[in-house]
Amino acid sequence: MANHIDLLPEDILLKMVVEKVATNSFVNFFNMQATDRQFRKLSNNPDVLKKVSFEDYPKILWEPNQNILHFLKRFEVSGNPEVLFSQGLREFFDWPVGNISGLRKLKIAAESGYKPAKYVYGMIKLCSENNESRKEGIDHVRSLRVAKCMMQLRMKMHQISHYFWRYNRMLVRNRTPICNSFPTCKGWGLKRNRWVFVDDEDDDMSLCENCRWDHELNVFYGIFHIHNI
């Protein structure tokens, strides 16, 4: 007797089942492929691979061996932002010499809207001495500030940074403040505490935005152990 799931049109099965599972759980997505030949076929669709979420099993992204890296390659080629982010970050901060190709992967993931990538790529661009690069960085991190998710992303970066503990000189601290009025500017602070976030609601949006990013850069330098030249 035929499996009732096989009676569904392929496009319905793809959109209503496979993609929904993929966007919610890598573990369920992986296990689903063993249950039905049709699921296994549809799971190789690039549009599906691009949407797979690894939030329930991040270890595969941050502690991969060579076999896992080979397995993840098809997700990377399909444009999966979580895989591009992890691969890009690993390549950029690789020890002893990073690879600039990692920055290109971070950019693709950031431009797809993946928030951790927007944070890291934006902060890397803010490290630049080039004004246009800094403007690009601000465009990315500003959207995160408006979305009130900066603290959540900081905590995520603290967790991830343990995999990149060695300083490889891909970045150095920028000695030129983003705020042109520093140190005479009225500055930026918090509603309750100065310089230390309690939560995103404490971020005073009415004060100097550039001072805000100068502060965030110092936090970013600390997370990824970025030194002076």
Identify whether the C-beta of residue 115 lies closer than 8 Å to the C-beta of residue 85.
no
Q: State how far the alpha carbon of 25 is from the alpha carbons of 22, 98, 154, in Å.
A: 6, 31, 23
* Burial class for 79, CB neighbours closer than 10 Å (0-12, 13-18, 19+): middle
Residue 196 has pLDDT above 60, yes or no: no
Over the stretch 49-91, which tens digit does the pLDDT of each residue have?
999 999 999 999 999 999 999 999 999 999 999 999 999 998 8
The pTM of the full predicted model, rounded to 2 decimals, is: 0.85
Per DSSP, what are the bridge partners of residue 203?
190
Q: State how far the alpha carbon of 16 is from the alpha carbons of 8, 10, 151, in Å.
A: 10, 10, 34
- How far is it between the farthest Cα atoms of the chain? 79
Report pLDDT for 127: 93
**Rounded CA separation 120/111 (Å):** 12
Per DSSP, what are the bridge partners of residue 190?
203
| Tokens read off for 109 | 């993931």
Q: State how far the alpha carbon of 91 is from the alpha carbons of 103, 113, 148, 205, in Å.
A: 8, 20, 29, 34
